[in-house]
Amino acid sequence: HESGDAGIGSTGGIVLGVDPGLEITGYGLIESAAGRAVLLEAGTIRTRRSAPLPDRLKELYEGLSSVIEGFSPEVMGMEEIYSHYAHPATAIVMGHARGVLCLAAAVRGLPVTALQATLVKKLVTGNGRAGKEQVSGMVRHLLGIREEIRPPDVTDALAVAIALMERGEP
């Protein structure tokens, strides 16, 4: 893609943002229309907490595969993995979840872009240190949503999608 034109509306394609999690993965699909970000669909992929890890990973893979097949996005984005986790086991589980989500995209030829959390915040709000409330408010404003978006995983996924669109991706 050419980078030179900035702002929402420079892409024209469908962008998928994902907030990975083993229990709840948030996703959001947006496209640009007349210079605005338009929400196509947003939701969660939830796994059964009681299921063994391989089954939960399969549920994530199948859930995201279904979303990709249903909307044919041009790019998928997610925040870069944190380098410091208070609990190393959390990092390992997150790595598993991210891995199968990336695999679901790769199998379908969908490029994946990882963005730093501070860059997502900066592109969405103008402030790389914005708090959750500020990001949530700006996501709702940009998408014309009046009510609060729940759960927060969906807001985070939509923020990533908006950030990708702001960068001119795809």
Active site residues: 19, 79, 153
| Tokens (6 digits) for 99 | 């891995």
Q: Provide the terminal-to-terminal Cα distance of the chain, rounded to the nearest Å.
A: 6
| Whole-number Å distance between alpha carbons of 9 and 36 | 6
For the chain, how long is the longest CA-to-CA vector?
A: 48
Pairing of strands 112-115, 75-79: parallel
Pairing of strands 75-79, 14-19: parallel
